[in-house]
Copies of this chain bind each other. A is one copy, B any other.
Amino acid sequence: MAKLGANRWGKSAVRLSKVIRGDGADRFLDLEFQVLLSGDVNAAYLEGDNSRVLPTDTTKNTVYALAQDQLTEDLEGFGSVLCDHMLAKEGITSAEVTIRQRRWLRESATGFTGGGSERRLAWVRRDDAGMETIGAGIEGLVVLKTGGSAFVGFPRDEFTVLPEAEDRLLSTSITARWVYAELPSDTSATWESVREIMLQRFFDDWSASVQHQGWLMARAVLDEVPEISEISFELPNQHHLPFDLSRFGLEDKHTVFHPVSEPYGDIRFTVTR
A94 to chain B, nearest CB (A): 4
Decide if A56 is an interface residue (CB 8 Å cutoff).
Answer: yes
Decide if A24 is an interface residue (CB 8 Å cutoff).
Answer: no
CA distance A8 to B93 in the complex (A): 33
Chain B: which residue is nearest A161 at the CB level?
B247
Candidate in A7, A124, A247 with the most chain B CB atoms within 10 angstroms: A124
A contact set with B: CB distance below 8 Å: 1-15, 34, 36, 41, 44-58, 60-62, 65, 73-77, 79-80, 82-84, 87, 89, 92-103, 115-128, 132, 134, 136, 139, 151-162, 180, 183, 186-188, 207-209, 211-212, 214-215, 218-219, 222-223, 230, 236-237, 247-249, 260-273
- Asked if residues B45 and A83 are in contact (CB atoms below 8 Å), the reply is no
A176 to chain B, nearest CB (A): 14
**The one of B50, B57, B158 that contacts A153, using a Cβ cutoff of 8 Å:** B50
Query: Would you mind naming 15 contact pairs between A and B with Cβ atoms under 8 Å apart?
Result: A7-B211, A7-B268, A7-B270, A14-B262, A34-B266, A51-B155, A56-B263, A56-B265, A80-B134, A83-B125, A83-B132, A94-B128, A97-B123, A116-B116, A158-B249
CA distance A84 to B41 in the complex (A): 42
For A152, what are the chain B residues with a Cβ–Cβ distance below 8 Å?
A: 50
For A97, what are the chain B residues with a Cβ–Cβ distance below 8 Å?
A: 123-125
For A61, what are the chain B residues with a Cβ–Cβ distance below 8 Å?
A: 159-161
CA distance A71 to B186 in the complex (A): 14
**The one of B45, B208, B248 that contacts A159, using a Cβ cutoff of 8 Å:** B248
- Asked if residues A103 and B124 are in contact (CB atoms below 8 Å), the reply is no
Q: Provide the main secondary structure of the chain A interface.
A: mixed
CA distance A186 to B73 in the complex (A): 9
For A215, what are the chain B residues with a Cβ–Cβ distance below 8 Å?
A: 4, 45-46
Candidate in A47, A76, A158 with the most chain B CB atoms within 10 angstroms: A76
CA distance A127 to B96 in the complex (A): 9
For A92, what are the chain B residues with a Cβ–Cβ distance below 8 Å?
A: 128
For A183, what are the chain B residues with a Cβ–Cβ distance below 8 Å?
A: 76
**The one of B157, B159, B209 that contacts A53, using a Cβ cutoff of 8 Å:** B209
**The one of B45, B51, B73, B180 that contacts A214, using a Cβ cutoff of 8 Å:** B45
For A62, what are the chain B residues with a Cβ–Cβ distance below 8 Å?
A: 159
For A12, what are the chain B residues with a Cβ–Cβ distance below 8 Å?
A: 236, 263-264, 266
